[in-house]
């Protein structure tokens, strides 16, 4: 009986940990992102004029 | 670019299209020298604009294979095939974040390609792909060759976009545009390589824009030629 209680307790602990893991997304660090951008360069490689 | 890459931890270099065709070198090499230069510069992604289709589909496909970065379009299909001509989006890992970059092409590309492609509604295409990439990416960037007016409409009508890098209308958006209702930054940097845009984004732990700033830098003669790029271009003289 004692062994059964121990098995049930362990099983409940495992299930509880699983749900806790699913419900708690790992927080990410804030992101600092630099985006360099160009457009419509039309093949220009030298200054105009 | 080198200066920003040395001082900033996470940097993306993106192009808003109409890049591979136009000036002398681009025409003489059918865009090959331009792709080589962009590989040298380390571009992360580019979107197809209508002028890029002036190369013809076969040559354009060749340029896309030579590019060491994805050349995107989520709304161009091959006439009669219902198959996308290009990759619609790419996912970039940045630290422990993932950024999706979705490309949108303007309607004029259909004529430029001589009817060999069909340009689908960019708004509907964007809604579909934002829904798709949202499951994987927490930062969403749209590379748009649709013009500023359409970019503002996209920001207004599609939730979840963090940044729109624009083209086609050749606007110098300085300061950049911030759409508070949707939390979207809209940027564009002129034309003919005379400007480069710099957008700095801060996102929170959920990937939402928590801070932004930007500027468009005029590439005057104050900037010395990069020796490596100078040597590359000199071989075409």
DSSP codes of every residue in B52-102: GGGG-HHHHHHHHHH-SS-EE-SSEEETTT--BSSB-EEEEEETTEEEEEE
* Complex prediction ipTM: 0.96
Q: Tell me the C-alpha to C-alpha distance, in Å, between residue B11 and each of B8, B142, B159, B212, B219.
A: 7, 16, 24, 14, 19
* Domain edges within chain B: 72-234
For B23, the closest of A30, A37, A44 (CB atoms) is A44
Report in angstroms the alpha-carbon separations of A38 from B72, B99, B113, B188, B193: 15, 19, 23, 7, 7
Contact B212, B185 (CB under 8 A): yes
Tell me what pLDDT residue A11 has. Answer: 62
Residue A27: band (very low, low, confident or very high) from pLDDT cuts 50, 70, 90: low
Question: Terminal CA-to-CA distance of chain B, rounded, Å?
Answer: 24
| B window 91-150, beta carbon within 8 A of A | 94-97, 99, 138-139, 141, 145
Q: What is the pLDDT of residue B220?
A: 83
> Which tokens go with B87?
């990759």
Confirm or reject contact between A30 and chain B (CB < 8 A).
Answer: yes
Nearest residue in chain B measured CA to CA from A46: B193
CA distance B121 to B64: 23
DSSP-derived 3-state class of residue A25: coil
Whole-angstrom distance, CA of residue A32 vs CA of residue B8: 8
Which residues of chain B carry a pLDDT beneath 50? none
Run of H or E including A9: helix A2-23
Per CB-CB distance under 8 Å, the chain A contacts of B15 are: 37-39, 41
Q: How far apart are CA B144 and CA B33, in angstroms?
A: 23
The answer to whether residue A21 scores a pLDDT higher than 50 is: no
CATH superfamily of B72-234: Metallo-dependent phosphatases (3.60.21.10)
* Residue of chain A whose Cα is closest to the Cα of B163: A35
pTM: 0.89
pLDDT, residue A49, reads 47
Model pLDDT, residue B37: 95
pLDDT classification of A15: cutoffs 50, 70, 90:
low
All residues of chain B having their beta carbon less than 8 Å from the beta carbon of residue A44 are 22-23, 192-193
Q: A12 pLDDT exceeds 90?
A: no
Q: What DSSP designation does B8 have? A: -
Closest CA to B85 of B121, B61, B112, B111: B61
- A22 CB near a chain B CB, below 8 Å? no
Nearest Cβ partner for B197 among A37, A42, A46: A37
């Amino acid at each position: 009986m004692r062994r059964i209680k121990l098995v049930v307790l362990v099983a409940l602990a495992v299930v509880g940990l699983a749900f806790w893991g699913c419900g708690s997304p790992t927080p990410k660090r804030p992101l600092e992102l630099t985006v360099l951008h160009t457009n419509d360069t039309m093949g220009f490689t030298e200054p105009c004029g | 670019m080198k200066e920003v890459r040395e001082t900033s931890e996470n940097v993306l270099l993106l192009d808003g299209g109409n890049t591979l065709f136009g000036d002398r070198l681009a025409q003489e090499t059918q865009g090959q020298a331009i792709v080589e230069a962009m590989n040298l510069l380390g571009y992360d992604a580019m979107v197809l604009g209508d002028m890029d289709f002036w190369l013809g589909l076969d040559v354009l496909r060749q340029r896309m294979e030579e590019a060491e970065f994805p050349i995107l379009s989520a709304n161009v299909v091959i006439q009669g095939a219902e198959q996308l001509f290009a990759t619609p989006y790419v996912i970039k890992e940045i630290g422990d974040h993932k950024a999706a970059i979705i490309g949108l092409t303007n309607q004029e590309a259909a004529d430029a390609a001589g009817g060999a492609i069909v340009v689908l509604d960019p708004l509907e295409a964007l809604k579909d792909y934002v829904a798709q990439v949202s499951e994987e990416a927490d930062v969403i960037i749209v590379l748009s060759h649709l013009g500023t007016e359409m970019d503002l409409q996209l920001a207004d009508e599609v939730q979840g976009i963090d940044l729109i890098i624009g083209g086609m209308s050749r606007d110098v958006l300085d300061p950049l545009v911030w759409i508070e209702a949707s939390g979207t930054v809209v940027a564009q940097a002129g034309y003919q390589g005379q400007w480069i845009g710099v957008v700095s984004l801060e996102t929170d732990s959920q990937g939402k824009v928590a801070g932004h700033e930007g500027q468009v830098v005029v590439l005057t003669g104050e900037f010395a030629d990069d020796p490596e790029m100078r040597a590359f271009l000199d071989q075409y003289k």
